[in-house]
């Protein structure tokens, strides 16, 4: 069992930056791949980024490629999402999720989400 707690969301102007953190409990964190997702009002949840267990492989949605960076610190049981050049369309609740199998298809554990609001 892994518990995930996101933080770092807030209100930022377009063009600004935020760094989200996802703190995990449990000794198995370092063996899990991790993902970030987001859900905007009235829209379905969508994939944002994925990182493998040791940080050596990352995948991004086309909409954030070149602007967002996912990283992790296994010593701190934390995964990050650095968001630069934010746009209004990035406004959403952002969730981190644990991917025990590492295949990017099964996310067994989810955080409660953190709100990101980008103003013009």
Specify whether the CB–CB gap between 77 and 53 falls below 8 A. Answer: no
Distance of CA 86 to the CA centre of its chain: 15
pLDDT digits (tens, 9 = 90+) for 34-76: 999 999 999 999 999 999 999 999 999 999 999 999 999 999 9
Q: What is the pLDDT of residue 5?
A: 98
Nearby residues of 67 by Cβ (< 8 Å), 6 or more positions away: 83, 84, 85, 86
């Amino acid at each position: 069992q892994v518990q995930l707690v996101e933080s770092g969301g807030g209100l930022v102007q377009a063009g600004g930056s935020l760094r989200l953190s996802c703190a995990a409990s449990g000794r198995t964190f370092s063996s899990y791949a991790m993902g970030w997702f987001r859900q905007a009002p009235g829209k379905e949840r969508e994939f944002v980024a994925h990182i493998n267990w040791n940080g050596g492989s990352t995948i991004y949605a086309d909409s954030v490629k070149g602007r967002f960076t996912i990283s992790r610190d296994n010593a701190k049981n934390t995964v990050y999402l650095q968001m630069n050049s934010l746009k209004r369309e990035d406004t959403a609740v952002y969730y981190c999720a644990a991917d025990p199998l590492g295949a990017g298809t099964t996310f067994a554990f989810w955080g409660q989400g953190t709100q990101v609001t980008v103003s013009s």
